[in-house]
């Protein structure tokens, strides 16, 4: 369910996760790591996210990290 504040749409955590294609655990880990430089809270103190925030989360979800420590499996 979206919330509209001053003409802007905001999404609650569960809907933001669904729209970004990530789990709640991933969202909270990324918030702790600073993937989003800021986010908003409603009057109850619950996090809410804009469409711009969701796009940042989607972009992070599309990133691929390469791990150079592959040892080749002994072959």
Query: 55-70 pLDDT, tens per residue?
Result: 999 999 998 777 776 5
pLDDT of residue 11: 96
Q: Where exactly are the structural domains of the chain?
A: 2-62
CA 43, CA 33: separation in Å to the nearest integer?
24
pTM: 0.77
CATH number of 2-62: 1.10.1660.10
Q: How confident is the model at residue 5 (pLDDT cuts 50, 70, 90)?
A: confident
Q: How confident is the model at residue 48 (pLDDT cuts 50, 70, 90)?
A: very high
Q: How confident is the model at residue 72 (pLDDT cuts 50, 70, 90)?
A: low
């Amino acid at each position: 369910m979206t919330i509209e504040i001053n003409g802007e749409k905001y999404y609650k955590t569960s809907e933001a996760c669904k729209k970004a294609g990530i789990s709640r655990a991933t969202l909270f880990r990324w918030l702790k790591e600073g993937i989003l430089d800021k986010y908003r809270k409603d009057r109850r103190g619950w996090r809410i996210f804009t469409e711009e925030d969701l796009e940042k989360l989607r972009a992070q979800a599309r990133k691929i990290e390469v791990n150079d420590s592959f040892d080749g499996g002994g072959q």
